[in-house]
Amino acid sequence: MSDEFIARVTDWIAGDPDETDRETLELLVRDGPREELRRRFAAPLTFGTAGLRGPVMAGPAGMNRYTVRRATQGVAAWLAAGPVDQRRGVVVGRDARRGSEAFNDEVVAVLLGAGIPVYEMPGPLPTPLVPYAVRALHAAAGVMITASHNPPQDNGYKLYDASGAQIVPPDDELVERFATTATTPALGTRADPDYHRVPDSLLAEYRRHALARFSPPAPSDLVIVYTPLHGVGGATMTSLLAAAGYENVHVVPEQFEPDARFPTLPFPNPEEPGALDLAIARAVELNADLVLANDPDADRLGAAVRDGEAWRTLRGDEIGWLLASALLPEAAASDVVATTIVSSSMLEAMARDAGVACVTTLTGFKWIARAAPGRTLAFGYEEALGFAVDDRVADKDGMTAALALARLADELAAHGETLLDRLDALESRYGVHAVDQLALRVEGPEGRDRIAAMVARLRRDPPRQLGGEPVVEVVDLATGWRGLAPTEGVVLHAPPTRVVVRPSGTEAKVKAYFEVVVGPDERPLLDQRRAARSLLGDVRAQVASYFE
């Protein structure tokens, strides 16, 4: 190893406030595997999708107290240099993952030491409460310690600006620049007069508003199974459902209490195959009507419904269509709905029909939340199970989305219909929108380089046809597109097929998103769906060859 590399390691050890982490790194320097030392230092975590996310481990490539301390110094410097008065304070929250409490403590101490008031959440709570509190308290910013739906070994740091939305460029670049030049900070304590707890009355107002907006008109006999997937949403969500009038709510006991090990799940993400297996088994046992699931920080919503004698997990796009069908009739003509370039195009058709503007953004709620400047965002969604159903939270919110979906299911049941009946009606009217995705996870420090090479290959040598239809447009998202900011990714259009390939912003994964639109036409809906799924399968197999 070069002298320069060893000097970097030594400097990091000297500044690291965690004794255990220092000892780990010193042992690696002395006689540990050199590959492991490189893994921890070769690719430091940087502010990306509105913050940091990575494995909990010592060194700049991991989430640890020193990484969080430096990041928070970057936030403090960013606030000091920005247009918003930092004396408005910062809301600080955390989930129940490994390291979250210690990282939360670092954020509080560094901000108070910098003379910035802190409003701390009273324990591990769902992520949406932080952006809600930022707006409600007129705070300067918000920090949430969470890795959302990432694997158990990860943690993260999410940053919101004064609007309550996740930060976007160039703010993330400024925070990163300030963090890299951080020195030893002054640290405050909770005895400081600038320290405050987020008042219970504010959290009660979130609850009151959500219930007033999304409760059914009368007590519901809908049988619901709910799981927080070992996360922090359990107590809050079950309380909301009970107060809304759902009298038959049952939980998955093995997954109800927060548990950073996520012992029943390989990946604590409701999108992952098998994530809802325990909930569906419970639903079968209880002859339930609906399964609702939050991810571990409760900003996403998964759902499953009965389909004859079987159960079917709904895709994010399908939940998006269902929620849009309920919310668009309530929207004003001046309102806006929004979705992303990798989500289904059906929302655009639905909004056009309703006379409401629809905006397509880059992936991520930091962009969706900004889709309606000066107007009301009546609804926003992304296919990765993120839904914004109320503009008091400038981010995705799996709890209010769950209330909204349950209300729709209850309303349909009162007319002898189901959520699947509503999906049939939507596809009969707007055409079958068959969607799918393909993901490749690449482990190790070279993972992101491999992913970049895959995307570069597709950009350099795209297919000439998809599913037998000619590719009529190849879009390099790195150059910007339709007014969107540049980002990594490629879009292929071969009507009726669209493919978007892009690296994940939070994990070492590359994803391909597929959509095939068939109809509406005179054929039975089932025949249209078969045709769409057949074409989709052909295209998926073709694109998969680029990942080999």
Q: Are 222 and 409 in contact (CB under 8 A)?
A: yes
Instruction: Tell me whether residue 504 is one of the annotated catalytic residues.
Output: no
Token pair recorded at residue 469: 């239809």
- Rounded to whole angstroms, the Cα distance separating 276 from 229 reads 9
Instruction: With residue 129 as reference, give the H or E element that holds it.
Output: helix 129-137
- Rounded to whole angstroms, the Cα distance separating 23 from 14 reads 11
Q: Are 282 and 111 in contact (CB under 8 A)?
A: no
Q: What is the largest CA-CA distance in the chain?
A: 74
Residue 228: CB atoms within 10 A of its CB come to 28
Q: Percentages helix, strand, coil for the chain, rounded to the nearest 5?
A: 40, 20, 35
DSSP 184: P
Residue 110: CB atoms within 10 A of its CB come to 25
Buried b (16+ CB within 10 A) or exposed e, 298-329: bbbbbbbbbeeeebbbbbbbbbbbbbbbbbbe
Q: Which residues have CB under 8 Å from 523's CB, separation 6+?
A: 531
Selection from 297, 243, 108 nearest residue 185 by Cα: 108
Annotated catalytic residue, options 100, 148, 220, 345: 148
Q: Are 412 and 419 in contact (CB under 8 A)?
A: yes
Q: Are 133 and 208 in contact (CB under 8 A)?
A: no
Buried b (16+ CB within 10 A) or exposed e, 369-378: bbbbeeeebb
- Rounded to whole angstroms, the Cα distance separating 326 from 303 reads 16
According to DSSP H, which parts of 369-418 are helical?
398-413
- Rounded to whole angstroms, the Cα distance separating 177 from 248 reads 52
- Rounded to whole angstroms, the Cα distance separating 229 from 267 reads 10
- Rounded to whole angstroms, the Cα distance separating 14 from 324 reads 53
Token pair recorded at residue 59: 């060194």
Active site residues: 148
